[in-house]
Amino acid sequence: MVKVENMSKVYRTGGGDIYAMKNVFVTVEKGEFVAIMGPSGSGKSTFMNMIGCLDRPTSGLYHLDGMEVTNLSDKQLAHVRNQKIGFVFQTFHLLPRSTALRNVELPLIYAGVGRKERTERARAALARVGLDERMNHIPNQLSGGQRQRVAIARALVNEPAIVLADEPTGALDSRTSIEIMDIFQQLNEQGTTIILVTHEPDIACYAKRLIRFRDGQVVADDPVRDRLFASQQLASERQQEV
């Protein structure tokens, strides 16, 4: 699904070259759930920008879903982002005056999908994240967790090859974070490939694999030990509440 070969990103300054990412090799198979961690300046955000086709590497190759995208034009990259990648961000990036349904329809509008079909697909995506009864509410009528669910539905509506989540729980409380990770785990069990950037070790434990960056390079790539399962945690909390 994702194959990065010898990828580097170099910023050239008067004081010399600065490597944001250096000689990175990473492969992510279809259906994996991968967490990316590293300190500030480690290269994890640069890596996500590259695989999200938001930036270009200085050198190296990137294959997404079997297609080499490194040297595509800006227009072609925009098409790849719309068709192949679903984005989920920490701050939701929802249109404040549009309903949840209209926010989720937005990628389909860009893709040229007709009104009837895009409404049906947006409704289905919102139902998939448990918001079928809130789809006509605008963002300020929704909780933080519900707004993130809208963002996840928007990321899913085009049936992308991968979902990239950048600190998706960073603005949420602990209980809501577990609920959001439950959605990601359910989506992954249904076959969605997910790559998640987080600075929280406990959030990384919901993934199946953990890649660590430091100084622009991959320093560890291992299966997650002592993996957390959000559904079990939520069930336990409900029992305690009773």
- pLDDT, averaged in runs of 10, over the chain (242 residues): 94 86 96 95 92 92 92 90 90 93 93 92 93 93 94 92 92 91 93 94 96 96 95 89 72
- Residue-wise pLDDT tens digits, 75-133: 999 889 888 999 998 888 999 999 999 999 999 998 889 999 999 999 999 999 999 89
pTM of the full structure: 0.91
The CA distance from 12 to 83, in Å, is 32
User: How many C-beta atoms lie closer than 10 Å to residue 189's C-beta?
Assistant: 11
| CA–CA gap between residue 99 and residue 118 (Å, rounded) | 14
Find all residues with CB under 8 Å of 224, minimum gap 6, and list them: 35, 204, 205, 207, 208, 209, 210
CATH at residue 34? 3.40.50.300
Give the C-alpha separation, 172 to 46, whole Å: 24
User: SS3 for 159?
Assistant: coil
Q: Show the tokens assigned to 213.
A: 């960056």
Residue 81 and residue 52 in contact, taking contact as beta carbons nearer than 8 Å: yes
179 DSSP assignment: H
Tokens representing residue 152 in the block: 């996840």
Domain hosting residue 184, numbered range: 2-241
What sections of 65-114 are H helices per DSSP? 74-84, 100-110
Number of domains within the chain? 1
